[in-house]
Amino acid sequence: MKVAIASFAHTHAASYAYLLAQMPDVEVLSADPDGAAAPDAGPRGAELAKKFGIPYVDSYDELFAWGPDAVVVTSENAGHRALVERAAAVGAHVLCEKPLATEVADGQAMLDACAAAGSILMIAYPVRFAPSYLRLRALVEAGRLGDIYAVVGTNNGKIPYAARQWFTDAALAGGGALVDHTVHCADLIDGLTGGASAARVYAAANHVLHQDKDVQVETGGLVTITYDNGLLATIDCSWSVPDNGPTWGGVSLRVTGTNGSVEIEPFLPHVGGTDPEGEVFLAFGGNLDESLLATFLNAVRASGAPVPGKEPAVVPQPDGAVGLRTLQIVDAARRSAVSGQPVDL
């Protein structure tokens, strides 16, 4: 199978490149034509591909002309649409980094393009594959929590500033913490509810954290969502883990139903302690990207080449529709944060 990696803008490209390079039945090719112009200190483009140990071409034209069976899109958020549309146009299946896009109209166009081409569009929400989440979902599906009426999610992390500055560029990222971190929890809730739609979204955001870095986008945010089934959820999406914290951050999801609550923290299992730099946090929860990629590639294998107008034989979750629903929440949160009033969808 031929798998292309389009752009190294997103830090997760490293993880996918590493995993794909190890797969004996996968041929990898990469391109990162915009890397040279990026303001980041680390290597990009051919130099980074060499570090990953994967083949590289200089342009997207060459990458798509290679005839990939599948394309992993790891560009800046604002670049997702163009690359996904190109992938669909050459008859490839697509795994797209989250969030789906920066604007809802772009996201809808991507879903339409993939549907027309018969391509899989899967969204890279790896927390879906966390063992604790799978256990929670099994309990929910068996009715053990009763009727679920409230959720609190947190996805706090360090500001992704040092490695890739575009995360704090409103035009390229679509915003700050609201865009970067709301979607993971929104996706987990989507998976528990079978795709409930948000009816009303309220968001408060601020810029108190990381002012020393001259960041223009919001760095703190709280998003309250009322779903069409009545479910209430609030998500803390802040970049509130200090730069010197022992780990990048984490995710929590507290789900309350008529029979009680379950709270998961998929990135909590760790060996703790201290070293000369301070606190030690050795996570051992497993590599969720590995499960995500396996799910995508298995679906690609099972579906075969896309047939225009025909739905793929296997539609791996989370799919483009989840990506669009979670993007709609982000878009409403952005607008609410500006107006100070809830936004009805």
- 284 lies in the site for other proteins, by CB under 8 A: yes
* Cβ-based neighbours of 143, under 8 Å, separated by 6 or more: none
Contact yes or no for 69/2 (Cβ under 8 A): yes
Q: What is the DSSP string of 244-260?
A: T-SSSEEEEEEEEETTE
- 309 lies in the site for other proteins, by CB under 8 A: no
- 139 lies in the site for other proteins, by CB under 8 A: yes
Q: What is the DSSP string of 173-187?
A: HSSSHHHHHHHHHHH
- Spatial separation of the C-alpha atoms in residues 166 and 154, rounded to whole Å: 23
- 134 lies in the site for other proteins, by CB under 8 A: yes
Paired residues of 257 in beta bridges:
148, 260
- Give SS3 for 121: strand
* Pairing state between β 198-206 and 343-344: antiparallel
- Spatial separation of the C-alpha atoms in residues 241 and 170, rounded to whole Å: 21
Q: Which is nearer to other proteins, 56 or 129 (CB)?
A: 129
Q: Which is nearer to other proteins, 14 or 268 (CB)?
A: 268
- 138 lies in the site for other proteins, by CB under 8 A: yes
Q: Which is nearer to other proteins, 126 or 221 (CB)?
A: 126
To the nearest whole angstrom, how small is the minimum distance from the Cβ of residue 233 to other proteins? Answer: 18
179-187, 232-240, 259-267, 299-307 -> range binding other proteins (CB under 8 A):
259-267
What is the distance between the terminal CA atoms of the chain, rounded to a whole angstrom? Answer: 41
35-43, 66-74, 254-262, 331-339 -> range binding other proteins (CB under 8 A):
254-262
- 144 lies in the site for other proteins, by CB under 8 A: yes
- Window 82-121: residues binding other proteins (CB under 8 A): none
* Cβ-based neighbours of 291, under 8 Å, separated by 6 or more: 126, 129
Tokens of 278: 């301070």
Q: Which is nearer to other proteins, 27 or 103 (CB)?
A: 27
Report the residue from 53, 67, 146, 304 that binds other proteins according to the rule CB under 8 A. 146
7-15, 36-44, 95-103, 257-265 -> range binding other proteins (CB under 8 A):
257-265
- Window 18-37: residues binding other proteins (CB under 8 A): 24
Report the residue from 280, 305, 313, 338 that binds other proteins according to the rule CB under 8 A. 280
List the one residue out of 197, 152, 186 whose CA is nearest residue 330. Answer: 186
- 145 lies in the site for other proteins, by CB under 8 A: yes
Q: Which is nearer to other proteins, 141 or 243 (CB)?
A: 141
To the nearest whole angstrom, how small is the minimum distance from the Cβ of residue 26 to other proteins? Answer: 13
Tokens of 174: 């679509």
List the one residue out of 150, 16, 147 whose CA is nearest residue 94. Answer: 16
Chain residues that interact with other proteins, rule: CB under 8 A: 24, 129-132, 134-136, 138-139, 141-146, 259-276, 280, 282-286, 291
